[in-house]
Amino acid sequence: MASLSLAKTRGRLVNSRLILELQGIIIKLRETAGGRLMVRAYQRAIRSYERFMAVGLFEWAPRARSWFNDPSYVLWLGLCSPEPFLC
């Protein structure tokens, strides 16, 4: 609140460190819980895809590769995979 009142009285902020800190706060405030959940689910699905590639799953189950093009499957896999989900 102090930075907002300072900006109102002086017209602008010139302290680059303060501006960077405020930008970080603004970005976090704009994020939604659902958006964070989707990003984490997508990241977990990518890790699963890489694991499946490493063990050769797509060689004996080629249709499984196409499942990763389905956003519903990616969300399900990201949310329901056996490793703990760290929010």
Task: Collect all residues with Cβ–Cβ distance below 8 Å to 37 and sequence separation of at least 6.
Answer: 79, 87
Using only C-alpha atoms, the chain has a radius of gyration, in whole angstroms, of: 21
Residues 37-55 have pLDDT tens digits of 788 888 888 888 898 899 9
Domains of the chain, by residue range, sit at 1-30, 33-80
- Most confident segment among 10-14, 30-34, 72-76: 72-76
Residues 56-72 have pLDDT tens digits of 988 998 898 888 888 88
d(CA 4, CA 74): 41
